[in-house]
Amino acid sequence: MARDWILYGASGVTGAQIAEVAVRRRHRPLLVGRAASRLAPLAERLGLEWAVADIADEAALAVLVGSAPLTLLAASPFTVTGPPLLRACLAAGVHYLDIANEPGVFETVYGHDQQARRRGAALLLGAGFGVTATDPLARHVADALADADRLDLTYCLYTAGTSPGAHANALSALASGGQVRRTGRLVPVGLGASVRRAERPGGDATVFAAPLGDLAAAYRTAGIADITVETAIAAPSWLARLALPVLPVVARSRALQRRAARATGKTLPLRDPSRRTYVRARASAVDGRSAEAWLATGKGYAFTAEASVRAVESVLAGPAAGSHSPGGLLGADFPLDIPGTRRFGPPATIDGRG
Q: What pLDDT digit, counting tens, does each position of 86-96 carry? A: 999 999 999 99
Cα-Cα end-to-end distance for the chain = 41
**Closest by Cα among 138, 274, 111, 109 to 215:** 138
Distance, CA of 155 to CA of 147 (rounded, Å): 24
Q: What is the pLDDT of residues 234-288, one digit of tens each?
A: 888 988 888 888 877 666 665 555 554 554 444 434 344 446 889 999 999 999 9
131-299+335-344 has the same fold as 6-128+302-330: no
The pLDDT assigned to 253 comes to 61
Model pTM score: 0.88
- pLDDT value, residue 255: 53
CATH for 131-299+335-344 is: 3.30.360.10
Q: Look up the CATH superfamily of 6-128+302-330.
A: NAD(P)-binding Rossmann-like Domain (3.40.50.720)
DSSP 26: T
Distances (CA, A) of 232 to 122, 181, 206, 209, 268: 33, 19, 6, 9, 21
Give the residue ranges of the chain where pLDDT is below 50.
1, 159-162, 167, 260, 263-274, 347-354
User: Domain limits of the chain?
Assistant: 6-128+302-330, 131-299+335-344
pLDDT for 279: 94
CA gap 171, 350 in Å, rounded: 36
Adjacent-strand bridge partners of 343: 295
Closest CA to 84 of 108, 56, 109, 110: 56
Residue 309 is predicted with a pLDDT of 98
Contact (Cβ atoms closer than 8 angstroms) between residue 17 and residue 24: no
